[in-house]
Every structure is written in C-alpha cells, then in structure tokens.
Amino acid sequence: MATFVDGPVRVSVPATSANLGPGFDSLGLALSLRDELEAEVLPDGLVVEVEGAGAEGVPRDERHLVVRAMRAAFELMGEQPPGLRLSCRNVIPHARGLGSSSAAIVAGVVLARGLVAGGQLLASDDALFDLAADLEGHPDNVAPAFYGGFVISGREADRWYAVRAGVDPRITAVVFVPPDGVETAVARGLLPDVVPHADAAANAGRAALLVAALSGQPEHLLAATRDWLHQDQREPAMPRTLELVRALRADGVPAVVSGAGPTVLAFGSSDTSALLARCPQGWTPHVLSVDVDGARLT
C-alpha cells in the first residue's frame, strides 16, 4: 500500500517538437519552454487551478489531462490519494505542435510518483515512460518531454523504446507560433493511408542524415530536414505554415512543421536576428535552446 508525502510536489516539463521533417512519429526534440505544475494530497476532493496558455479551454475536474495521467500513475503504484490539489502554470501553447498534451501527461505521471513515498521503487523511469506513451498513443513527444534532448523512439513488439542521441551545442531553434491552432486529429486525418516506396525510402535516408546532422554536422541540416510523407499533405489545414516553411527553405534555412503544426521550427545558429525578422505579422517567435533535462522535480 502506498504512503503519500506531506506538502506539495513541483515539476517542470519542456515543450517538444516531433518529426523534425522526415522523422515522422519517431524523432523528437525537447525545447527550453517549460510548463510548471504543483500538486499535493488533500484529505478529500479535487481542486484544479490553471493559468497561462490554454487556461480558458481546459476542464477543472477529473477530465483534466494532468489529473487523468496522475490517476493512471497512482493506479500503477497501487493506491489513489483521498484528495488532490493541482496547480498548472502553462507556457507551452496548446494545439500548436509543441507537445502540450505530452507535457501534461508526463507532468502528471511524474507528479504522481513524487507524491508517493518510495515512488521510484514502485514505478521506474521505464515504467513511467511506457505509461505516458500508452496514454498519448505515440512516443515521439512523450520521450523528449520525459528524458530531455533529442530522442529516437518507437514501439518494438509490445514495448515502447526511447534512445537519446547527442545534439551539437551550436544548434538553436526558432519557433514561429501562429495565433490559431490546429488539432492533431485534424492534421493527422489529412495523411494518406499509402505512400510511394520511393518517398518512404527518401524519408528514411533523410531521417538517418538528421541524426548525424543534429549530433555534430549541422551544415547538413537543410538536406536532412527534407520531408516527403506528411508536411505537404497537411497544407489544407495550415496553408500559411507551409508557405513560411517553403520560403525559409528556399533561402537555405532548415525549416520544418513542428509536430502536427501549425508552428514552424527553424534551426539556426547563435545569431538569430535575421530569422526573427522573418516572423509573420501576428505570429509569436521564440528563440529556444535544446532542453537536455526533460521532466524534473523542482
């Protein structure tokens, strides 16, 4: 039977960008934009407090995604608390392709483990990652949110896997966030069921090149971020996103759709002033570094 700790537990979880061009559903990068959450066990009831990004659109009850993730993790550890208070300060934009739902799920499972005395013995990192990926349905955002850095992830038989790879310290990411979001289900619904063999082979080669480019040869990032499988296909849902990606790439900037979009991610160097000048009116730019820490209790 689990014993709960006294006092609040706090966690910080990074934004993530999945796919990165050719790495569809398999490559993800953690970025230095973090949600901060706090939870504590109460004698009874449920209190959910939310401020910041997406606060106006999320439920304040058991339907809240962080609460659902916490409940699943408590179930894994064998005990539900009598009551809960959850406080969320959201920075990661919702429905923009920056991993807000994965951050919520990862925050929930890590908070739950932190609230249980000896939680590390009841739920290992591998077990929490598996649970988080099960809840999200795919690991490409969950893996970097949980582990940090650049992660290659997927499923082998009945288990998820996540392997971290190095990232060259010279690499900076600039994200351009549009004012309106696109739901992942809508963006994914535009993808074809069958793709040409040549396109699949081309993407496989570029995904392999991307691992090398990010790890120490950033001069290859433009070629390495070329995609054939999902970005152009999503254009009907985000025409301005694809317009910006194409304009940047035509000028030699390694730009991609971040996750399911509509945010655009562009890889740059230490001087990002020229990139920032390309931000469309009404969009919000962020200059971000690669976050190597992943989810952490604070």
Q: How far is it, in rounded angstroms, from Cα 102 to Cα 80?
A: 22
214 is known to lie in a ligand binding site: no
3 state DSSP class of 247: helix
HSE, side-chain direction, 13 A CA sphere, residue 226: 15
Q: Which two tokens stand for residue 13?
A: 């979880």
18 is known to lie in a ligand binding site: no
269 is known to lie in a ligand binding site: no
102 is known to lie in a ligand binding site: yes
Q: Which two tokens stand for residue 183?
A: 């739901």
CA distances 290 to 32, 85, 122, 170, Å, are 6, 31, 30, 10
273 is known to lie in a ligand binding site: no
288 is known to lie in a ligand binding site: no
Burial (0-12, 13-18, 19+ Cβ within 10 Å), 253? buried
With vertex at residue 203, the alpha carbon angle to CA 236 and CA 96, rounded to the nearest 5 degrees, is 40
124 is known to lie in a ligand binding site: no
87 is known to lie in a ligand binding site: no
CA distances 176 to 97, 258, 276, Å, are 11, 9, 9
98 is known to lie in a ligand binding site: yes
Comparing C-alpha atoms, which of 16, 183, 19, 164 is closest to residue 104?
A: 16
Comparing C-alpha atoms, which of 200, 170, 194 is closest to residue 22?
A: 200
197 is known to lie in a ligand binding site: no
96 is known to lie in a ligand binding site: yes
Show binding-site residues for ATP.
93-103
Show binding-site residues.
93-103
